[in-house]
């Protein structure tokens, strides 16, 4: 097999790039380790920056997102029993975010690939890139007992944090930066009416909580838990009781509870791998960087990687201009680190971590007091949350 661009990973990053390139006549193949059903069973985040939404529309995959997604112009921060609203629309110069589940977005991307007979190879086992620093890289994988090979011009590592791509960069080239937080988020999806029309990020001495949603009949809630906790250790009743304890009384009183249809614990981690290019391998999305979900930056950081790669590959194939590819890593990392900073800041401001001191808590009090007393502070939060320019 031969293609121009071989994309390892059939998550949002890989599928979005595949769709954008296809529409410009740039041949590509996606190699996905798992089945489509397995990928679509993952419950992930649900807030899209306007930049990501614009890319989905350009990829001809934005129709259901625009029909079913909710435009949100603000969110709340709960602290000391009070709710304070962050007016994103006012402080971002009129922008907003779309609340639309990543699972649905990934489904839309898969449907578009299928509609256009896009090449997505599922259950590709032992995927391995080769000759990345040559002009003729190739990728092998196993389909059952048969070893397959595809020759290409470029390999895109969109295979997530646990993928093979980042590990294909030599140890003496790769630099990794990591901060692991001593907590995780226990998330629950329930077919209940959301407790609030807009998201509520709650700071509480017992731990952080988040009230989010997927639609007016599908709610998504999180509570911060110790890393030693397990999903099995949390009954639905225990989850709802703890969530209520961390919310202002008036919010807890109207919380509609119900059976969890999904329950999982995700660790909190900040991670960046540099460089995001090695020879003809380009890393994108979770393969290169991870953020704690507090700032809703995970998928949106992948969006700018895909935007830069898409335009760089377009320039290469349409105009013989390699400057975008040459400059990709530096350009992508500049925005990635800004998302890292914002996610770290939101996380440290709102979480009560084990071992945090009274001084730490006073800093959090001050951060929140400054935020709600300064237009400059509110504008800084808003411009990061709705999405810095690509
Ligand atoms: N070979 C082929 N595919 C692989 C391999 C491999 N060795 N390893 C992982 N994959 C696949 C995974 O099965 C997954 O479908 O790569 C895909 C990577 O998708 P994601 O992990 O979702 O990463 P990405 O597409 O960058 O999306 C980032 O996902 O995890 C969330 O918070 C994150 O919202 C962000 C988004
Ligand atoms: C979600 O809806 O899953 C969600 C929303 C905002 C976040 C994190 C997760 O910051």
**Does residue 160's CB lie within 6 angstroms of at least one atom of ligand 1?**
yes
**Does residue 289's CB lie within 6 angstroms of at least one atom of ligand 1?**
no
What residues are paired with 212 via a beta bridge? 220
Burial class (CB in 10 A: 0-12, 13-18, 19+), 205: exposed
Question: Does the residue 192 lie in any domain?
Answer: no
Q: Which residues contact 266 (CB under 8 A, 6 or more apart)?
A: 184, 185, 187, 293
pLDDT block averages, 10 residues each, the chain of length 390: 98 98 98 97 92 97 97 98 98 97 96 96 98 98 97 98 98 98 98 98 98 97 97 98 98 98 97 98 98 96 97 98 98 98 98 95 98 98 97
Ligand 1 atom nearest to 163, measured from its CA: 8
**Cβ distance 11 to 158 under 8 Å?**
yes
- Closest Cα partner for 192 from 214, 171, 176, 173? 214
Rounded CA separation 187/181 (Å): 17
Ligand 2 atom nearest to 212, measured from its CA: 2
Rounded CA separation 184/177 (Å): 19
- Cα–chain-centroid distance for residue 73? 20
pLDDT of residue 71: 97
**Does residue 127's CB lie within 6 angstroms of at least one atom of ligand 1?**
yes
How many domains are there within the chain?
1
Closest protein CA for atom 4 of ligand 2: 45
Burial class (CB in 10 A: 0-12, 13-18, 19+), 188: buried
Question: Does the residue 276 lie in any domain?
Answer: yes
**Does residue 72's CB lie within 6 angstroms of at least one atom of ligand 2?**
no
* Helix, strand, coil content of the chain in percent (nearest 5): 40, 30, 30
Out of 222, 224, 291, 345, mutate this one to test ligand 2's pocket (max ligand atoms within 8 Å of CB): namely 222
12 C-alpha to center of ligand 2: Å? 16
Q: Would the CA dihedral through 110, 116, 119, 121 be positive or negative? A: positive
Question: Does the residue 101 lie in any domain?
Answer: yes
Rounded CA separation 271/273 (Å): 7
**Does residue 39's CB lie within 6 angstroms of at least one atom of ligand 1?**
yes
Ligand 2 atom nearest to 294, measured from its CA: 10
**Does residue 212's CB lie within 6 angstroms of at least one atom of ligand 2?**
yes
Closest protein CA for atom 23 of ligand 1: 160
Query: What domain range includes position 330?
Result: 5-72+97-178+269-354
Question: Does the residue 261 lie in any domain?
Answer: no
Ligand closest in space to the Cα of 346:
2
Question: Does the residue 161 lie in any domain?
Answer: yes
**Does residue 46's CB lie within 6 angstroms of at least one atom of ligand 2?**
yes
Rounded CA separation 301/307 (Å): 10
pLDDT of residue 239: 98
**Does residue 152's CB lie within 6 angstroms of at least one atom of ligand 2?**
no
**Phi, psi dihedral angles at 132 (to 5 degrees):** -65, -30
The model scores a pTM over 0.95: yes
Rounded CA separation 17/156 (Å): 9
Question: Does the residue 166 lie in any domain?
Answer: yes
Closest protein CA for atom 21 of ligand 1: 160
Out of 106, 220, 291, mutate this one to test ligand 2's pocket (max ligand atoms within 8 Å of CB): namely 220
Neighbouring CB atoms inside 10 A of 157's CB total 30
Ramachandran category for residue 301: left, alpha or beta (phi over 0 → left; psi -120 to 50 → alpha): alpha
**Does residue 268's CB lie within 6 angstroms of at least one atom of ligand 1?**
no
Rounded CA separation 13/304 (Å): 10
Out of 129, 159, 284, mutate this one to test ligand 1's pocket (max ligand atoms within 8 Å of CB): namely 159
Question: Does the residue 317 lie in any domain?
Answer: yes
| Residue 347 belongs to domain with CATH number | 3.50.50.60
- H-helix or E-strand spanning residue 81: none
**Cβ distance 167 to 160 under 8 Å?**
no
pLDDT of residue 374: 98
Question: Does the residue 45 lie in any domain?
Answer: yes
Residues making up the chain, counted from first to last: 390
Distance from the first to the final alpha carbon of the chain: 34
Rounded CA separation 146/67 (Å): 43
Helices (H), the chain: 12-23, 36-40, 50-58, 63-68, 88-91, 102-115, 236-246, 249-253, 298-319, 323-350, 358-371, 375-386
**Does residue 296's CB lie within 6 angstroms of at least one atom of ligand 2?**
yes
**Does residue 294's CB lie within 6 angstroms of at least one atom of ligand 2?**
yes
């Amino acid at each position: 097999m031969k293609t121009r661009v071989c994309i390892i990973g059939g998550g949002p990053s890989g599928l979005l790039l595949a769709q954008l390139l296809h529409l410009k006549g740039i041949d590509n193949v996606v190699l996905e380790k798992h089945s489509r059903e397995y990928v679509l069973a993952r419950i992930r985040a649900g807030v899209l920056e306007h930049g990501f939404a614009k890319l989905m529309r350009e990829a001809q995959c934005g129709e259901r997102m625009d029909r079913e997604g909710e435009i949100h112009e603000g969110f709340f921060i709960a602290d000391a029993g009070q709710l304070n609203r962050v007016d994103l629309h006012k402080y971002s110069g009129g922008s907003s975010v779309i609340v639309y589940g990543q699972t649905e977005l990934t489904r839309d991307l898969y449907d578009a690939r299928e509609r256009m007979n896009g090449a997505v190879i599922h259950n590709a086992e032992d995927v391995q890139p080769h000759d990345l620093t040559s002009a003729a890289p190739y990728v092998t994988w196993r389909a059952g007992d048969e070893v397959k090979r595809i020759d290409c011009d470029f390999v895109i590592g969109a295979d997530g944090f646990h993928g093979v791509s980042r590990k294909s960069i030599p140890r003496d080239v790769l630099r990794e930066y990591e901060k692991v937080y001593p907590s995780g988020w226990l998330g629950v999806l329930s077919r209940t009416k959301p407790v609030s029309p807009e998201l509520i990020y709650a700071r509480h001495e017992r731990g952080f909580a988040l009230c989010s949603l997927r639609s007016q009949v599908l709610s998504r809630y999180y509570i911060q838990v110790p890393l030693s906790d397990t999903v099995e250790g949390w009954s639905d009743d225990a989850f709802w009781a703890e969530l209520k304890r961390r919310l202002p009384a008036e919010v807890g009183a109207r919380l509609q509870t119900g059976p969890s249809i999904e329950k999982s614990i995700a660790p909190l981690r900040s991670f960046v791998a540099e460089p995001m290019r090695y020879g003809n391998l380009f890393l994108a999305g979770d393969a290169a960087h991870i953020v704690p979900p507090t700032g809703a930056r995970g998928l949106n950081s992948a969006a700018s990687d895909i935007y830069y790669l898409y335009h760089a590959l377009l320039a290469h194939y349409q105009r013989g201009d390699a400057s975008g590819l040459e400059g990709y890593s530096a350009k992508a990392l500049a925005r990635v680190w800004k998302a890292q900073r914002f996610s770290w800041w939101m996380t440290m401001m709102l979480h009560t971590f084990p071992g945090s001191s009274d001084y730490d808590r006073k800093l959090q009090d001050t951060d929140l007091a400054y935020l709600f007393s300064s237009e400059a502070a509110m504008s800084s939060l808003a411009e990061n949350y709705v999405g810095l320019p690509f």
